[in-house]
Chain A
Amino acid sequence: MNNPIQNLNKVFDSRVRLGIMSTLMVNDEINFNDLKQLIDVTDGNLASHMKSLEESGYVKVSKGFIGRKTNTTYSVTKAGQKAFQQHLNGLEQMIKTMK
């Protein structure tokens, strides 16, 4: 049997990123402030995690305006969905094999 750890994705190796991905999986799109509230992190913290998810190609960023304020919304990409699904499978396997 192959090592189940190989299915776990290093990018998701953080509570904050896991929270971001879980939220994006079930919401079409969500803006920065709502995400910040949901995950309960600081601006800087969320921004840096978002950046690395964006660089991995898992998250799509779109910037817009509401009045004069910037409104940044995020959504998950196809690659992100696939990677997250794999990560979930990996977690599941992990639990099964160690029983």
Chain B
Amino acid sequence: MNTQNESLQELQHIKRMMERSTRFSSLSGLSGIAAGVCGLIGFWMAVNTIAGWKRNHLDNLYASRDIVTDRLLIIALATFAAAALSSFIFVYRRCKKLDIPLLGVSARRVIINMAIPLFAGGLFILRLATQGIFDLIAPACLMFYGIALVNASKYTLEETRYLGYAEILIGIINLWILGYGLIFWAIGFGVMHIVYGIIIWMKYENHPVEQYEELQ
């Protein structure tokens, strides 16, 4: 009886080590929620800025264009920074709690596999912007981000793959409804992150750490 239990424990230990060395499983659902909320706040600020611009400069919309694009760019950068920072904080906390190294092998794999499509996408989007093809920027962001998620999902929680599919799909739909990039952006980067975050949180975090070990 005792050796049976020991064998079982050994097998579980083996499984856990295999998991732990290949998958970065200390993503936090709260990160997703925080990033999504930042995205929605950014969306709201952008919409207000555009509405204000149209209201106040009715007579010379074109002339005041630069001011508003500068402001939108600042909002976009601030949103990105806030989302990145807040998700980092929650992942950091989760790592501490589960006693998993923040920049271990598996985490580095996630980062590299995210970074490659994002880098390619970033250059592509930069060229779109310099060529003045603004309508394609939002779909390109969504699609490249989705591809990056699908690519990295092998090394982290499997739900990430479905978030990736969703982002790609939203990007594709946006391709045929051009000119509404901001709304698709809000759905893809705001709403989807919140949904994903809630699912992850319910599944992995809504119970004590001891149970988490069994879940894996």
CB atoms of A38 and B20 under 8 A apart: yes
Please, which residues of chain A bring their CB within 8 A of the CB of B173?
none
Give a binary string over B1-26; 1 marks a CB under 8 Å from any A CB, 0 the rest.
10110011011011101101110000
Query: For the complex, what is the distance from the CA of A39 to the CA of B1, rounded to whole Å?
Result: 28
The segment from A22-30, A51-59, A64-72 found at the interface with B is: A22-30
Contact of B17 among A5, A22, A94 (CB under 8 A): A22
Please count how many residues in chain A sit with their CB below 8 Å of the partner chain's CB atoms.
23
Query: For the complex, what is the distance from the CA of A15 to the CA of B11, rounded to whole Å?
Result: 11
CB atoms of A22 and B3 under 8 A apart: no
Query: For the complex, what is the distance from the CA of A41 to the CA of B2, rounded to whole Å?
Result: 26
Please, which residues of chain B bring their CB within 8 A of the CB of A92?
7, 11
Is there a chain A Cβ closer than 8 Å to B52's Cβ?
no
CB atoms of B17 and A37 under 8 A apart: no
CB atoms of B7 and A37 under 8 A apart: no
- Which B residues from 69 to 114 make CB contacts under 8 A with A? 99, 101, 104-105
Give the A-B contact count at a CB cut-off of 8 A: 58
Given contacts A18-B10, A19-B13, A98-B4, whether A30 and B18 have CB atoms under 8 Å apart is no
Please, which residues of chain B bring their CB within 8 A of the CB of A26?
18, 21-22
For B101, the closest partner residue in chain A by CB is A37
Query: For the complex, what is the distance from the CA of A99 to the CA of B22, rounded to whole Å?
Result: 32
CB atoms of A94 and B101 under 8 A apart: no
Give a binary string over A56-99; 1 marks a CB under 8 Å from any B CB, 0 the rest.
00000000000000000000000000000000100110110011
Contact of A38 among B7, B10, B15, B21 (CB under 8 A): B21
Q: How far is the CB of A23 from chain B (nearest CB, A)?
A: 4
Contact of A98 among B1, B13, B17 (CB under 8 A): B1
CB atoms of A38 and B105 under 8 A apart: yes
Contact of A95 among B8, B20, B105 (CB under 8 A): B8
- 18 additional A-B residue pairs with CB within 8 Å, beyond A18-B17, A38-B104, A38-B105: A18-B10, A21-B14, A22-B21, A23-B20, A23-B21, A26-B21, A26-B22, A30-B21, A34-B105, A38-B20, A38-B101, A40-B99, A88-B11, A92-B11, A94-B4, A94-B7, A95-B11, A98-B3
A residues near B (Cβ < 8 Å) are 5, 15, 18-19, 21-23, 25-27, 30, 34, 37-40, 88, 91-92, 94-95, 98-99
B residues near A (Cβ < 8 Å) are 1, 3-4, 7-8, 10-11, 13-15, 17-18, 20-22, 99, 101, 104-105
- Name the 8 nearest CB pairs between A and B, nearest first: A22-B17, A98-B4, A94-B7, A23-B21, A22-B14, A91-B7, A34-B105, A37-B101
